[in-house]
Chain A
Amino acid sequence: MTGWQTAWTWIFGIAVFLFFLVEVVVVVGGARDIGDMMRSLMGQADENREES
């Protein structure tokens, strides 16, 4: 393999690893954030209903 071929092979490996890592972190953390967002939006909706 030439220098470019070796470099791209390594970079590709790193890219796949980072992609998978981000997926795992986001799936776990995102589930918690959904709960927080729903509570916040329901609170806002209640406030707006009371005001009107």
Chain B
Amino acid sequence: MNFIWLDWAMIVAFLLLTTGIAFMTRRLISNYDSFLLAGRSLKLYLGMATMGATELGLVTLMYFSEQGYKSGFSAFAIGVISLLGFVFVGKTGFIIKGLRDLRMHTIAEFFGLRYSRSTQIVAAIITFAAGLMNMGLFLVLGAKFLLYMVGLPPEALPYLMVGLLLLVLLYTVVGGMVSVVLTDYVQFIILFTSVVLTTYFAITHVGYDALIAAVQIEHGAGGFDPFLSDDLGWLFIVWLVFGLPFTGMWPPALSRALSTVDGETSRKLYGFIGLSFLGRALMPMMWGICAFAYFAGAHAVPLPMVDGAPDTAAAMPVYLSQILPNGLRGLVVAAALAALMSTFDSYLLCWSSILVNDIVLPLRPELKDRQKILLTRLSVVGCGLFVLGWGYLYSPPETFFRFMAITGTMYSASVLLTTAMGLYWKKANTPGTLASLCVAGLLPLTTIFLDGSGIVPPAYEWMIEDKVVGIATFVASVVFIVVASLLTQKSHPPKVLQPVGTGGN
């Protein structure tokens, strides 16, 4: 066990604070809007806090550090592309301003308005499926971090997963978006402070020159040049660039933009918080690189093994557990819990709202606010249980980040790309959108389920690599929506939408 009483005290204080906030905000939930979108009363800085906390999850720290461990400094290219994406969205308001001006609750709702009810349901199902698979690794990665940081035996992993799930379910179900927003603010402070402090300790323990030397010896030029990297390479960079216009539009982040007071605040939100996204990627990657240099040295503890191979995802937490001073270790674990909870609660609430708003409500529009809240709470529990099972059963063929990227492509190349077409291309119609949604929703499943399974002959394995499938998905999606829309303009004339208002609630 790596913990002393001071570390435990910090964690208990943090848990009491966040669950207390959730219970105190119950009386503010007066209708469905206040449960799901905090009454659309989110202003800029609080919006930034909640989006920053949501998008900096424990899973983010884990997958970025693993990527840094495996790719060295080349992994930094991912953070730079992410920053460019946020700058683009922040400057142009691409997609987010249009959706906020139309007063959408969720992105799939736009499909119902612009196309048809069946298109809304298809878009919602794809979003829901991609989101659940993506979220499926949150619990297992979060539990692994805690396991190695605290120094618990490996047999404790499933119990930790269940415990974390129960904790998140408790205050998400009770408080809805208001409690999520308020706890996000507290979590933002703890989380951002801990990330900066941990980065300082991680680098100073190994030494910056030693880091560079270790990466140079192991990876050569590919450890610094992403185009020469064995793990990444130019195909991977092209794939990420294709997704650049859709940066930060995963539904939980979008729900923050839709909760703001107006469309202009949504746009500013992306512009400002995007500035922190470079650090959000690069600092945990640096922890991974530090862990790499540490385990390459002679005085390291052994790296845990999984199925006979080193568990690269465990490198960062094991390293931090060895080098952080007492007290700070507890603060970092409290921050990690904050990161896990702020991300997990928002994601649970988001997928549940998609299930209710975009799949159930189009079929049962007569549901009252109370029934909708109850249904959303039940689906929060259902999604949580699914995540628990998926975390046990699935292990990605490449790194965890690359699994996140391919499930992200499943959503962005289908739902986001067709949303953009619907907002900015007048000829986009229902058949074109449905064709694009189906092809882009299904193609990524080939790499998710077939890559590494041994089913595909070795000569054709390159075809199901995530990089190839990711690029093919974007290209196919554009081709299908353009061609199918143009071919069916007469039989299915496109609808034109007008914004509800330029500002206000």
Residue contact B48 to A40, C-beta cutoff 8 Å: no
Candidates B39, B41, B276, B286; contact of A18 at CB < 8 Å: B276
Residue contact A33 to B278, C-beta cutoff 8 Å: no
**Also in contact, A26 and B52, with CB within 8 A (given A11-B278, A20-B196, A37-B181):** yes
**Also in contact, A41 and B283, with CB within 8 A (given A8-B73, A22-B276, A27-B188):** no
Interface 0/1 of B168-193, CB less than 8 Å to A? 00000000001001100100110011
Residue contact A45 to B43, C-beta cutoff 8 Å: no
- The B contact surface, by secondary structure, is helix
Residues in B259-305 with C-beta less than 8 Å from chain A? 272-273, 275-276, 278-283, 286
Residue contact A30 to B48, C-beta cutoff 8 Å: yes
Among the stretches B26-34, B134-142, B338-346, B495-503, the one at the interface with A is B26-34
**Also in contact, A44 and B34, with CB within 8 A (given A19-B279, A19-B280):** yes
Question: Is B199's beta carbon under 8 Å from chain A?
Answer: yes
Inter-chain contacts of A8 with B (CB < 8 A): 73, 76, 224
Question: Is B465's beta carbon under 8 Å from chain A?
Answer: no
Residue contact B39 to A30, C-beta cutoff 8 Å: no
Residue contact A41 to B41, C-beta cutoff 8 Å: yes
* Cα A41 to Cα B41 with chains together (Å): 8
Closest CB-CB distance, B174 to chain A, in whole Å? Answer: 16
Residue contact B43 to A33, C-beta cutoff 8 Å: yes
Residue contact A37 to B38, C-beta cutoff 8 Å: yes
Residues in A18-37 with C-beta less than 8 Å from chain B? 18-23, 25-30, 32-34, 36-37
- 18 A-B contact pairs sorted by A residue (CB < 8 Å): A5-B224, A8-B76, A11-B282, A12-B282, A15-B79, A15-B279, A16-B279, A18-B278, A18-B279, A22-B192, A22-B272, A25-B272, A27-B49, A29-B46, A33-B44, A34-B185, A41-B38, A44-B31
Closest CB-CB distance, B354 to chain A, in whole Å? Answer: 23
Question: Is B212's beta carbon under 8 Å from chain A?
Answer: yes
Question: Is B392's beta carbon under 8 Å from chain A?
Answer: no
Inter-chain contacts of B47 with A (CB < 8 A): 33
Residue contact B286 to A12, C-beta cutoff 8 Å: yes
Candidates B39, B196, B199, B273; contact of A40 at CB < 8 Å: B39
Closest CB-CB distance, B481 to chain A, in whole Å? Answer: 36
List the 4 shortest-distance A-B pairs measured between CB atoms, nearest first: A29-B45, A19-B279, A33-B46, A4-B224
The tally of CB-CB contacts under 8 A between chains A and B is 126
Closest CB-CB distance, B211 to chain A, in whole Å? Answer: 10
Inter-chain contacts of A38 with B (CB < 8 A): 28
* Cα A49 to Cα B34 with chains together (Å): 14
Name B residues whose Cβ lies closer than 8 Å to a Cβ of A: 27-28, 30-31, 34, 38-39, 41-49, 52, 73, 76, 79-80, 178, 181-182, 185, 188-189, 192-193, 195-196, 199, 208, 212, 221, 224-225, 272-273, 275-276, 278-283, 286
**Also in contact, A26 and B41, with CB within 8 A (given A5-B224, A21-B275, A41-B28):** no
Inter-chain contacts of A21 with B (CB < 8 A): 275
* Cα A47 to Cα B286 with chains together (Å): 51
- The A contact surface, by secondary structure, is helix
Closest CB-CB distance, B19 to chain A, in whole Å? Answer: 18
Closest partner residue, chain B, to A45 (CB atom) = B30
Closest CB-CB distance, A4 to chain B, in whole Å? Answer: 4
Residue contact A22 to B278, C-beta cutoff 8 Å: no
* Cα A5 to Cα B76 with chains together (Å): 11
Candidates A2, A5, A26, A40; contact of B188 at CB < 8 Å: A26
* Cα A15 to Cα B273 with chains together (Å): 12
Closest partner residue, chain A, to B208 (CB atom) = A9
Residue contact A14 to B278, C-beta cutoff 8 Å: yes
Closest partner residue, chain A, to B178 (CB atom) = A41
Closest CB-CB distance, A11 to chain B, in whole Å? Answer: 6
**Also in contact, A26 and B38, with CB within 8 A (given A15-B278, A16-B279):** no
Closest CB-CB distance, A44 to chain B, in whole Å? Answer: 5
**Also in contact, A29 and B279, with CB within 8 A (given A41-B34, A48-B30):** no
Inter-chain contacts of A41 with B (CB < 8 A): 28, 30, 34, 38-39, 41, 178
Closest CB-CB distance, B344 to chain A, in whole Å? Answer: 21
Inter-chain contacts of A25 with B (CB < 8 A): 45, 48, 272
